[in-house]
Chain A
Amino acid sequence: MTVNNRPGVLNRITGLFTKRHYNIESITVGHTEIEGVSRMTFVVNVDDERTAEQIIKQLNKQIDVLKVNDITDQAIVARELALIKVAAPPAVRQEIYTLIEPFRASIVDVSKDSLVIQVTGEPEKVEALIELLRPYGIKEVARTGTTAFTRGAQKATTNQKTAFII
């Protein structure tokens, strides 16, 4: 969804979600290539098509909302970044290095008994890495939430996402 980058616009949108009892799974906001226009990406879990349609219509009624796109059933690029601080005494460090490698995650901070791992990818991938690291003792996790847009070419897609993304 693209919006005018005006004061309070995020408040308008989240207020609308609260008022109409829609639960936001995640939300990301940032500038776009156009000055004064921001992109917001929401992940919202809804029960049915009708609710999804209502959300989009209600968002469209906002004066500062320029365009809303439901990309749940489209070919999309979706990415999330997570920072994971995990307990890592010297004895298990090597093991952790090996474990995160297939995820193309990187170590961004090292201290005496912990590591901070940065991972980027689809939310499922981030989820999977967190689960793998859990046995070592996760101290903190910070996730950005998903940001996304549609791919350049739209093929018939087999995307099986349950979450509804706009």
Chain B
Amino acid sequence: MSELKTLYKEGVWVNNPALVQLLGLCPLLAVTSTITNALGLGLATLLVLVGSNVSVSIVRNWVPKDIRIPVFVMIIAGFVTIVQLLMNAYTYGLYQSLGIFIPLIVTNCAIIGRAEAYASKNPVHLSAFDGLMMGLGFMIVLVVLGAMRELIGQGTLFDSADLLLGPWAQSLRIEVFNFDNQFLLAILPPGAFLGLGLLIAGKNVIDAQIKSKQVAPPEAEKGPRARVTSLT
């Protein structure tokens, strides 16, 4: 399997930052009350992840081992601040509704995790692709969780998408059900925990099924799997 294909599978499924590595849960749980918020934070995280992976990979040969962490932190913080300024300038409404969670991307361990585990050891193009795929994996989980919570909580999809995409997106709003009262559990933080738990469980069920189908040639898997982060 080519390196790119491996990276794609790792980021989106096998080693998904949110479902397997369980990193970056604070923003994940806090902003996924609507698809728009989830997509906005997902895109912001993706941008930061690609930017930081590329920069870390470019400088990887010049940074001594002892000071790599502060250097990575500086790079990440720089990118987050830039993304924050850009969002403030061009998607003001979304910037207001995401609030503190944009600067908090700095503390998303998935980003420094990728910088340390992958970008600091691999060439630029692969690191960029790794950042893209990890960001994509994270964003997909955010959006799916956002869709679940918005649908169950408010009965809509793409509510106030115009904050992110401009005025034309107002027509994207779909009212699936009409509640007199919103279903609070889905909108409040516990709903996010339950939703994420269900997503992880769902992923594990699918993985188990795939595995049971592969059992046919029994001697294929002998030694212990080397991946530590996906013990779940």
Whether chain B is bound by chain A comes out as no
Chain B positions near chain A (C-beta within 8 angstroms)? none
Chain A positions near chain B (C-beta within 8 angstroms)? none
